Structure 1
Amino acid sequence: MNYNELRHFADSWGLVAMTVVYLVLIGWTFLPKGRERGDEAARMIFDSENENRDADHG
């Protein structure tokens, strides 16, 4: 495979592959468990802050 064939493949199918991966990763967040995991991740910093404060003043 020479450079021109590789470049043609990357220009056509590489773009399609990157688009599919992008759509899958964006769509993954809208799955039913995605909201729960997102909410848990958003609260994670506050949970560890409270645990550390309770342990220090114990």
Structure 2
Amino acid sequence: METYTAMRQFADSWGLLAMAAFFIGAIVFTLRPGSNQTAKEAADIPLKDD
């Protein structure tokens, strides 16, 4: 039971912090300068005729 309590406390504190940091990182990565052109090129890949 002690292991469960320790893991629960870790998930409640550091796990939440890690998920929040990942979420903010994903938002920053998406909105970074130059990402619009990269996203446009990736979106056009299925439409290219080979």
Q: TM-score category by the smaller chain?
A: 0.7 to 0.9
Q: Percent identity?
A: 35
Higher relative contact order at CA 8 Å, sep ≥6: structure 1 or structure 2? 2
Count of aligned residue pairs for this structure pair: 49
Matched, 1:9 2:10: yes
Q: Which runs of 4+ in 1 moved over 6 A?
A: none
In structure 1, the gaps of 5 or more residues are: 52-58
CA RMSD in angstroms, aligned pairs only: 1.5
In structure 2, the gaps of 5 or more residues are: none
Q: TM-score, normalised by structure 1?
A: 0.71
